[in-house]
């Protein structure tokens, strides 16, 4: 009641000064419009100067397309301009079939960075990793190149070899030759792990919900006594929002899955589950890691908030924004991919930059545990210089030794420690009831500083109560 009263008073006060306010608004709008036209005129002058005076001939369309892409990518890492060719490539990818290597990439400060290789693709088999930088394709530098232009170099007829020059943290630059294949992005795979079903979702394309539903029905039909389900969303770079909602809906009886909110605080769109849990309510664990992004985080966040599943693994990527594809002249002039909203989990969490933290933190290897301990963050949304801000007061988890890691002697190439712990949680009934392993002894990195003059050979000790500082390693310089 008090809220309505305050609104009424505000309306009265605005009404008292309406004439002055409207005049100011009109004046501001005219001023803003005049400034926009002046800047557009400036843009035209620059294009003309380049066309007339640059050392060699330039293609005007290419010049303008690059300027459009630069304008949009300056807003945030996920907004960009798509040429007609790039728009067709994106449609092929969301339909689930195209000729290429199987990589999800982005651009950061003019450098092409890999978000994730897709399961079973040539890039995945070649050992390409999330966070790698691509510096050249077939000896042609891609530094400063737009994502769409870099994609053009990598996609093409199946059977042809493509050589990628890769820069990776803590490794010498190297080349890897990969043969293109027809990438049929079957986004769902399933199998039994003892008494428990295992459902792997590697991306969210147009067929994901349909494939996931069929896989769950197959698991149940072949294994009537299935005691639980592991949903694996590790290294899932995301995809279509409606598919994330659809997959979440397979496991929920009702209630909110996700909401998205645009610039206007009143512009809220909510997505709710329909009645019917396809699994029949069997216990669930969801596997996530720092490569679980966007649509994958929507699913993980919904199932965690709704107490339908517990999460095992590592803090997710932290992409909490929604992009809208806006075709230009029906797609004849390409399209713009524009960030138009943030999404929120059912409890009202925005995970932008911070990610979703698991209920049981488990590193996949001792090497991974050490990496988490001595760098500020693994490759994540927070890595981007111009990422959208996080909710006020929220920050991504700082360097730390993760709660669990494999014991000495465990071979991550032949075993899956995170999956093992997920099955332990199902076997024990919950994360709380699962016996915990000894915390790994990952060593925090120390900042090298000045040493005391009196004892130059002795290492400097931190002051009482002050932990050793940690800093991320330098970025590779492609």
**152-to-84, 106, 122 alpha-carbon distances in Å:** 12, 14, 17
69 is catalytic: no
Point out the catalytic residue in the list 89, 232, 249, 305: 305
Two structure tokens written together for 270: 């909510």
DSSP 292-359: --THHHHHHHHHHHTTS-EEEES------EEEEEEESGGGTT-EEEEEEEEEE-TTS---TTT-PPPS
**408-to-363, 401, 421 alpha-carbon distances in Å:** 13, 16, 16
Q: Are strands 228-232 and 196-201 parallel, antiparallel or unpaired?
A: parallel
Point out the catalytic residue in the list 202, 290, 294, 350: 294
Using left for φ > 0, alpha for ψ between -120 and 50, and beta otherwise, residue 184 falls in beta
416 is catalytic: no
Point out the catalytic residue in the list 113, 319, 337, 423: 319
Residue partners of 313: CB distance under 8 A and separation at least 6: 234, 287, 288, 289, 292, 358, 361, 362, 418
CB burial of 4-43 (b: ≥16 within 10 Å; e: otherwise) equals eeeeeeeeeeeeeeeeeeeeeeeeeeeeeeeeeeeeeeee
Under a CB-based contact definition with an 8 Å cutoff, are residues 240 and 210 in contact? no
Q: Are strands 284-288 and 310-313 parallel, antiparallel or unpaired?
A: parallel
**Strand ranges, E, within 61-179:** 80-82, 97-100, 103-108, 111-117, 133-137, 140-141, 161-167, 174-179
The three-class DSSP label of residue 125 is helix
Under a CB-based contact definition with an 8 Å cutoff, are residues 290 and 228 in contact? no
Measure the CA–CA gap between 380 and 293, rounded to whole angstroms.
Answer: 9
Q: Name 166's bridge partners.
A: 134, 174
333 is catalytic: no
What's the number of CA atoms in the CB half-sphere (13 Å) around residue 91? 12
Residue partners of 374: CB distance under 8 A and separation at least 6: 399, 442, 443, 444, 445, 470
With the C-alpha atoms ordered 341, 82, 381, 210, is the resulting torsion angle positive or negative?
positive
Active site residues: 294, 305, 319
């Amino acid at each position: 009641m008090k809220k309505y009263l305050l609104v009424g008073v505000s309306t009265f006060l605005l009404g008292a000064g309406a004439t002055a306010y409207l005049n100011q608004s009109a004046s501001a709008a005219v001023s803003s419009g005049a400034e926009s036209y002046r800047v557009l005129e400036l843009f035209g002058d620059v294009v003309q100067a380049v066309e007339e005076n640059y050392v060699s001939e330039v293609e005007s369309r290419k010049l303008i397309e690059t300027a459009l892409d630069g304008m949009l990518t300056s807003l945030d890492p996920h907004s960009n301009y798509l040429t007609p060719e790039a728009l067709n490539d994106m449609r092929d990818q969301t339909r689930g079939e195209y000729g290429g290597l199987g990589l999800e990439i982005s651009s950061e400060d003019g450098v092409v960075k890999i978000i994730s290789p897709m399961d079973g693709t040539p890039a995945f088999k070649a050992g390409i990793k999330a966070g790698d930088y691509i510096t050249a394709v077939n000896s042609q530098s891609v530094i400063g190149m737009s994502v769409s232009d870099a994609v053009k170099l990598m996609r093409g007829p199946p059977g042809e070899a493509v050589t990628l020059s890769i820069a990776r943290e803590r490794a010498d630059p190297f080349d890897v030759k990969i043969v293109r294949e027809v990438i049929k992005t079957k986004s769902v795979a399933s199998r039994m792990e003892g008494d428990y079903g295992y459902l792997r979702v590697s991306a969210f394309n147009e067929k994901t919900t349909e494939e996931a539903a069929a896989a769950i029905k197959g698991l149940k039909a072949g294994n009537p006594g299935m005691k639980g389900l592991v949903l694996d969303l590790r290294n899932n770079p995301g995809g279509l929002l409606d598919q994330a909602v659809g997959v979440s809906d397979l496991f929920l009886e009702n209630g909110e899955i996700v909401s998205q909110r645009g610039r206007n605080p009143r512009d809220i769109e909510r997505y709710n589950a329909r009645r019917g849990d396809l699994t029949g309510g069997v216990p669930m664990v969801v596997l996530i890691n720092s490569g679980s992004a966007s649509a994958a985080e929507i699913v993980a966040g919904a199932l965690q908030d709704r107490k339908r599943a517990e999460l095992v693994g590592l803090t997710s990527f932290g992409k909490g924004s929604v992009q809208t594809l806006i075709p230009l002249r029906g797609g004849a002039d390409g399209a713009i991919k524009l960030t138009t909203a943030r999404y929120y989990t059912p409890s009202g969490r925005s995970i932008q930059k911070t990610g979703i933290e698991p209920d049981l933190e488990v590193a996949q290897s001792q090497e991974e545990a050490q990496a988490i301990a001595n760098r500020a963050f693994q490759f994540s949304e927070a890595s981007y210089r111009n990422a959208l801000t996080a909710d006020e007061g929220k920050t991504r988890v700082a360097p730390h030794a993760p709660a669990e890691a494999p014991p000495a002697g465990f071979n991550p190439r032949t075993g899956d420690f995170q999956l093992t712990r997920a099955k332990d949680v199902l076997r024990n009934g919950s994360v709380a009831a699962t016996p915990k392993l000894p915390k790994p002894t990952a060593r925090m990195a120390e900042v090298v500083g000045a040493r005391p003059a009196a004892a130059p050979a002795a290492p400097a000790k931190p002051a009482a109560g002050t932990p050793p500082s940690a800093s991320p390693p330098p970025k590779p310089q492609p």
